[in-house]
Structure 1
């Protein structure tokens, strides 16, 4: 399994653009968060990755796929004020 940590700038451009839009809608900038990505340890085929978003003392990991569903989950957490 690949244990290389990815940073925000290593994520696919579509994911970054969607993340930036979600942040802007909720009054944040991507710089307000620390974002890292790594291989999903539960994925046998090693096609998925985990994206972890941190802000202050709060952190949440999302399973990332090709459709960018993790960004929608992140927006749900912002709406629920998880990161505030």
Structure 2
């Protein structure tokens, strides 16, 4: 299993994540972002896990950056506050 850190993520995903954080008054440093290949389903890509405090959410990473939009939805719902 390959473990990814925030800096291992694609540059486009990192830029989108940083913009979403800024829009909601956060910085990327407020979150612990890691990634792992899904050992049970390698054909559908990796999982990105975002943690803050006692809360964590995992998103399926795809080529379109959908996980960042899902993360922003969670911010809108105050999941990480």
Under a length normalisation based on structure 2, what TM-score does the superposition of the two structures give? 0.95
1:31 aligned onto 2:29: yes
Q: CA deviation at 1:62?
A: 0.2
Q: How many residues get paired?
A: 81
Runs of 5+ unmatched residues, structure 1: none
SS in 1 for 2:57: strand
| Matched residue, 1:48 | 45
Structure with the higher helix share, 1 or 2 = 2
Give, in whole Å, the separation in 2 of the partners of 1:50 and 1:28: 22
Structure 2 CA distance for aligned equivalents of residues 8 and 64 of structure 1: 13
Q: How does 1:63-74 map to 2 (within 5 A)?
A: 63-74=60-71
Alpha-carbon RMSD across the aligned residues, in angstroms, is: 1.0
Distance 1:7 1:44 in 2: 18
Q: TM (normalized to structure 1)?
A: 0.92
